[in-house]
Chain A
Amino acid sequence: MITLIYGGSSSGKSAYAEDYVCQSNCKNRYYLATMQAQDDESLERIERHRSLRAGKEFITLEQPYDIANTIKTSEDCIILLECMSNLVANEMFRDGKVNSESYTVDKIIKDIKTLDEKVSQLVIVSNDVFEDGLEYDDYTKEYLRALGKINAEIARMADKSVEVVVGIGVER
């Protein structure tokens, strides 16, 4: 069962997603972290998220790509995947290569389906990065198209999609 939690930067979507996950009765709670620390700023963000999760009994799994491999066999657990925007970047710009939009979309959707079959609940946090009206280079456009398609496909597969606005969940 998939839940999509969607919102802009600093919209409160992580705090909302963590509260949502903590209300489930599943045996294990996993936090699937897709961000790779590259500089001080990303380390700071990771640290902020770690302190948000402190005391909430999450088992953290770092999986910047190939998320289908996160869990080996089926188990009664809930996974909070945070976040899709990093995963798409990691899969698209991988091993010094640039993968195409269609390859990236197909790969990630397939991985999500595989992972979803192994767990009780999969909660996916994704970003609204589509509303700044700016013109970007071809790589960024390709990335935006991939993320947009993936978000739409997750929303189609999901039992529930929530947009978080100033910390408030709005069901879609």
Chain B
Amino acid sequence: MILIVGGSYQGKTEFARNEFPEAKYFNQLHLFVKKRISEGKNNSEILAEIREVVNDGEWVIISDEIGNGIVPLDENDRTWREICGRIMIELAKDATEVYRVVCGIGQRIK
């Protein structure tokens, strides 16, 4: 599995399509995590579900980095940001390659 992270509108998807045209995509992971939290799922349940999905074949996971701001006032936003960060750390450990995309430029960090 390949993990691609970066801020919003940084050209992550385009970068991924150019680099890994044959792969299957799990895009907007941060929104998937948010949805599962709203359904009452916890960190490890969400992570297990993601791992199950990407278990088979060549997968590229794409996610926004959402932790680079002031602590949100809303508790749900704080929870989302924390769980998203922790899940991405675990997925980065699983990944064979990790890229960070800034201004359309992908930097391989693993």
Question: Residues on A close to B: CB < 8 A?
Answer: 7-12, 41, 128-134, 136, 140, 144, 165-168, 170
| Cβ contact within 8 Å between A167 and B82 | no
| Cβ contact within 8 Å between A167 and B70 | no
| Cβ contact within 8 Å between B89 and A12 | yes
Q: A136 → chain B, closest Cβ, in Å? A: 7
A8-B85, A167-B92, A168-B98 as given contacts; A132 in contact with B109, CB under 8 Å: no
| Cβ contact within 8 Å between B92 and A9 | no
| Cβ contact within 8 Å between A166 and B3 | yes
7 new A-B contacts, CB < 8 A, other than A129-B71, A165-B65, A167-B92, are: A8-B69, A12-B89, A166-B3, A166-B85, A166-B92, A168-B109, A170-B109
| Cβ contact within 8 Å between B5 and A9 | no
Chain A neighbourhood of B86, CB < 8 A: 10
Set A9, A41, A131: member contacting B85, Cβ < 8 A: A9
| Cβ contact within 8 Å between B81 and A9 | yes
Tell me the nearest residue of chain A to B100, going by C-beta: A165
| Cβ contact within 8 Å between B3 and A9 | no
| Cβ contact within 8 Å between A128 and B68 | yes
In B6-42, which residues have CB < 8 Å from any A CB?
7
Q: A77 → chain B, closest Cβ, in Å? A: 29
**Docked CA distance A108–B68 (Å):** 22
Chain A neighbourhood of B84, CB < 8 A: 10
| Cβ contact within 8 Å between B68 and A9 | yes
User: What 1/0 flags go to B76-91 for Cβ under 8 Å of A?
Assistant: 0010011111101101
| Cβ contact within 8 Å between B93 and A167 | yes
Judged by a CB distance under 8 angstroms, whether B110 is at the interface is yes
Set A10, A128, A166: member contacting B81, Cβ < 8 A: A10
Q: A13 → chain B, closest Cβ, in Å? A: 10
**Docked CA distance A67–B70 (Å):** 23
Judged by a CB distance under 8 angstroms, whether B67 is at the interface is yes
Among B5, B7, B67, B110, residue most surrounded by chain A Cβ atoms (within 10 Å) = B67
**Docked CA distance A155–B85 (Å):** 24
A165-B109, A167-B93, A170-B109 as given contacts; A11 in contact with B70, CB under 8 Å: no
Chain A neighbourhood of B70, CB < 8 A: 129, 132, 134, 136, 140, 144
| Cβ contact within 8 Å between B68 and A131 | yes
Q: A163 → chain B, closest Cβ, in Å? A: 9
Chain B neighbourhood of A41, CB < 8 A: 78
Set B82, B98, B107: member contacting A166, Cβ < 8 A: B98
Interface pairs (27), CB distance under 8 Å: A7-B67, A8-B85, A9-B69, A10-B67, A10-B84, A10-B85, A10-B86, A11-B85, A11-B89, A12-B89, A41-B78, A128-B67, A128-B68, A129-B71, A131-B69, A132-B70, A133-B69, A165-B98, A166-B3, A166-B88, A166-B91, A166-B109, A167-B89, A167-B93, A168-B92, A168-B98, A168-B109
